[in-house]
């Protein structure tokens, strides 16, 4: 018993010594800006690049000048197509999850520079799927003036009924009595909550390492907004610009509009 | 040697930051309100209240360049002498002579509001200015253009530098500066407040005291003391207008139960804020009390708090009005702002 206790105390001393050495080491590493980052193995972080391609069925979207036909047979042109991708998380092989910090991204079809962005501070490792929200979570919708992608200057914010638009599609269609179509989908609370969170499995793992910054190529298919489960006929539904049952049903429709094209490691 | 340089840099850095903090603390002020009031909703967290920031928000409030033809500022419809209501028109005029669809609300004690506008459509004090700026019937501008104009103005660059120590003016900062001014509009110096704060020479006269009793019995469940609103949405039995019928909160929530509900307004400063109701249909307090006495329409979702509304006698009406007048804060409306 006494021996055990002595060993314990001895170990304690060793532990204290070890921790002191560790502290010193951390201090030294912290102070030494020239330390070679590649040598520190645990906790290393890299990036995953996301790239979005906006499609209408099989065709990449061409704004304003290209006519498309939806599953209902309605023809339409697209002038604006914007959407928020937020709260991105990646799932590892062991089902553990890595979240992107401050994860709010606005993709605008008329601004190619918004199609790609890097998710930073992603720990090295292999990832099998991505999860994200289409839209902006309820907390950010009630937290006052925001910046960056959430800056209201992007015209993705309702001034009269505070909250961010999750998706915005505007264009024209001969089937619409007014000639115009406008779908501003929002609603972060209550029975007409239109937030959609999607998980997409990768065809093979995205590998984040010293040497690899993987690119996850995704596509968004506009046609999915108008079908399954609710068929949208532009002759009847052509202007959805408030929260409500219609906005929610269109969000239900577009919940499956994203898919992974490929992973580039 | 290197370590030495790093050490000196650190010292310099610390010196610089503490200097900034020092400057802020001289200018900083406490958000003060009477002890018997509840905690505000907006606490200026991350937007510490300073004199310079309030002054900047005030400048924005008075700036006509925020409207599309530079003819309308916020102040054009929110006059201080009217407790920051319009105080004249049922529906205020925006750019190009266009008229708004609801009566301009008074602006005070906004830091306690959980929602803004008659229908509660705006959920944060920092979001509020976007609504009138972008409304085609009011200032008819885009946030992008307004922020561009402010950010490229030498005058504002200097003021934002002084107030927020930044060279980059974003909508976020403009909205925070607005919130400084709007949030600091606190009206708490009415006769009622002085009595509640136990000022020696203040007490209700007989008529006011009787009115206070009537008020507590029939009005206080919605117009809750001390802010004289419960911040809730109620259908108070106002008949639906035949021209431009207004369904109020329904337009925001799309819920049938919210039909014709509007936010319960504060009863402070009523002397300055006529006409009354969301559409300004009543010109006098007497008309307002007559509505509650005998004009309530029994809509299915009419507030149950109105089920046992008494028919006020002429004397009782006078007593109620006498009490309501003790909620007026002339200094708030008439004293020059800093």
CATH number at residue B302: 1.10.760.10
pLDDT at residue B336 in the model: 87
**How far off is chain B from A246, nearest CA to CA, in Å?**
11
DSSP B68: T
Asked which of A29-33, A191-195, B249-253, B273-277 is least confident by mean pLDDT, the reply is A29-33
Query: B134 touching A, CB under 8 A?
Result: yes
**How far off is chain A from B10, nearest CA to CA, in Å?**
12
- Statement to judge: residues B174 and B214 lie in one domain: no
**How far off is chain B from A76, nearest CA to CA, in Å?**
27
B183 vs A contacts (CB less than 8 Å): none
Contact A47, A123 (CB under 8 A): no
Residues A10, A11, A14, A18, Cα dihedral to 10°: -170
pLDDT at residue B4 in the model: 47
How buried is A21 (Cβ within 10 angstroms: 0-12 exposed, 13-18 middle, 19+ buried)? exposed
Please give the residue range of the domain that contains residue B59: 23-183
pLDDT grade for B24, boundaries at 50, 70 and 90:
low
Residue B326 pLDDT exceeds 90 = yes
Query: Which residue among B162, B183, B204 closes a domain?
Result: B183
How many domains are contained in chain B? Answer: 2
Query: A82 touching B, CB under 8 A?
Result: no
Residue B13 pLDDT exceeds 90 = no
3-class secondary-structure state, position B281: coil
Per-residue model confidence as pLDDT tens for chain A (265 residues): 444 444 444 554 445 444 444 444 444 343 333 333 333 356 899 999 999 999 999 999 999 999 999 999 999 999 999 999 999 999 999 999 999 999 999 999 999 999 999 999 999 999 999 999 999 999 999 999 999 999 999 999 999 999 999 999 999 999 999 999 999 999 999 999 999 999 999 999 999 999 999 999 999 999 999 999 999 999 999 999 999 999 999 999 999 999 999 999 9
- Statement to judge: residues B156 and B226 lie in one domain: no
Interface of B with A in 172-191 (CB under 8 A): 172, 175-176, 179
Rg (CA), chain A: 24
DSSP B104: P
- Statement to judge: residues B147 and B211 lie in one domain: no
Query: Which residue among B183, B210, B236 closes a domain?
Result: B183
- Statement to judge: residues B179 and B35 lie in one domain: yes
pLDDT at residue B5 in the model: 47
- Statement to judge: residues B104 and B237 lie in one domain: no
Average pLDDT over residues B84-113: 96
- Helices B314-325 and B206-218: crossing angle, nearest 10°? 100
The more confident residue out of B170 and B23 is: B170
Long-range contact pairs involving B313-316 (C-beta distance under 8 Å, separation at least 24):
B316/B210, B316/B211, B316/B214
pLDDT at residue A10 in the model: 52
Query: A30 touching B, CB under 8 A?
Result: no
A144 with B126: Cβ contact below 8 A = yes
A/B interface, count of CB pairs below 8 Å: 74
Helix, strand, coil abundance in chain A, percent, nearest 5: 25, 40, 35
B131 vs A contacts (CB less than 8 Å): 159-160
Query: Which residue among B120, B154, B183 closes a domain?
Result: B183
Query: A159 touching B, CB under 8 A?
Result: yes
Q: How far apart are CA A79 and CA A69, in angstroms?
A: 15
pLDDT at residue B20 in the model: 46
Annotate B85-96 with DSSP letters as a single string: B--S-SS-B-GG
Q: What is the ipTM of this complex?
A: 0.86
- Statement to judge: residues B118 and B208 lie in one domain: no
A152 vs B contacts (CB less than 8 Å): 127, 130, 143, 171
Q: How far apart are CA B300 and CA B298, in angstroms?
A: 6
Average pLDDT over residues B165-187: 97
pLDDT digits (tens, 9 = 90+) for A120-162: 999 999 999 999 999 999 999 999 999 999 999 999 999 999 9
How buried is B271 (Cβ within 10 angstroms: 0-12 exposed, 13-18 middle, 19+ buried)? middle
DSSP A256: T
Structure tokens at B184: 């600091």
pLDDT at residue A43 in the model: 84
């Amino acid at each position: 018993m006494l021996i055990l206790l002595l060993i314990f105390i001895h170990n304690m001393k060793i532990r204290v010594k070890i921790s002191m050495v560790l502290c010193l080491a951390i201090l030294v590493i912290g102070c030494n800006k020239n330390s070679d980052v590649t040598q520190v193995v645990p906790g290393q972080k890299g990036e995953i690049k996301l790239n979005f391609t906006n499609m209408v069925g099989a065709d990449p979207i061409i704004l304003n000048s290209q006519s498309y036909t939806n599953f209902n047979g309605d023809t339409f042109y697209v002038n604006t197509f914007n959407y928020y991708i937020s709260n991105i998380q990646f799932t590892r092989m062991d089902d553990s999850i890595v979240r992107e910090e401050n994860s709010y991204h606005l993709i605008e079809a008329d601004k190619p520079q918004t199609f790609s962005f890097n998710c930073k501070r992603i720990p090295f490792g292999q990832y099998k799927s991505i999860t994200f929200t289409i839209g902006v979570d309820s907390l950010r919708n009630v937290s006052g003036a925001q910046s960056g992608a959430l800056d209201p200057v992007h015209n993705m914010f309702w001034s009269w009924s505070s909250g961010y638009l999750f998706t915005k599609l505007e264009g024209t269609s001969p089937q619409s009595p007014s000639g115009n179509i406008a779908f501003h989908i929002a609603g972060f609370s209550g029975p007409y909550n239109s937030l959609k969170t999607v998980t997409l499995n990768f065809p093979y793992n995205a590998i984040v390492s010293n040497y690899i910054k993987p690119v996850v190529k995704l596509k968004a298919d506009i046609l999915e907004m108008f079908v399954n489960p609710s068929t949208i006929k532009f002759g009847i539904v052509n202007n959805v610009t408030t929260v409500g049952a219609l906005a929610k049903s269109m969000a239900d429709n577009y919940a499956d509009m994203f898919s992974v094209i490929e992973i580039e490691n | 040697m290197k370590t030495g340089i790093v050490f000196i840099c650190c010292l310099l850095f610390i010196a610089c930051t503490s200097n900034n903090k020092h400057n802020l603390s001289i200018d900083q002020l406490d958000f003060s309100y009477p002890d018997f009031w509840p905690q505000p909703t907006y606490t200026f967290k991350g937007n510490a209240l300073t004199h310079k920031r309030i002054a900047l928000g005030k400048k924005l409030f008075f700036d006509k360049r925020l409207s599309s033809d530079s003819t309308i500022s916020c102040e054009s419809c929110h006059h201080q002498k009217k407790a920051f209501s319009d105080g004249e028109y049922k529906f205020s005029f925006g750019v190009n002579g266009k008229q708004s669809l609801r009566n301009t609300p008074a602006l005070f004690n906004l830091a306690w509001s959980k929602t803004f506008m008659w229908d509660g459509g705006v959920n944060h004090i920092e979001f509020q200015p976007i609504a009138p700026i972008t409304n085609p019937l009011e200032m008819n501008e885009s946030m992008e253009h307004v922020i561009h104009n402010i950010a490229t103005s030498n005058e504002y660059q200097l003021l934002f530098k002084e107030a927020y120590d930044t060279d980059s003016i974003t909508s976020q900062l403009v909205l925070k500066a607005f919130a400084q001014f709007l949030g600091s509009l606190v009206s708490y110096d009415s006769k009622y407040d002085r009595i509640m704060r136990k000022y020696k020479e203040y007490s209700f006269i007989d008529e006011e005291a009787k009115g206070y009793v009537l008020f507590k019995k029939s009005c206080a469940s919605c117009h809750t003391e001390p802010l004289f609103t419960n911040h809730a949405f109620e259908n108070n039995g106002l008949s639906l207008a035949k021209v431009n019928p207004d369904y109020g909160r329904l337009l925001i929530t799309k819920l049938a139960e919210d039909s014709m509900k509007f936010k319960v307004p504060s009863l402070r400063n009523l002397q300055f804020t006529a006409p009354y109701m969301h559409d300004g249909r009543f010109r006098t307090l007497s008309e307002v009390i007559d509505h509650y006495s005998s004009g309530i329409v029994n809509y299915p979702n009419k507030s149950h708090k109105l089920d046992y509304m008494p028919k006020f006698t002429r004397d009782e009406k006078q007593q109620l009005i006498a009490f309501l007048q003790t909620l007026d804060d002339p200094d708030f409306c008439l004293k020059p702002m800093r």
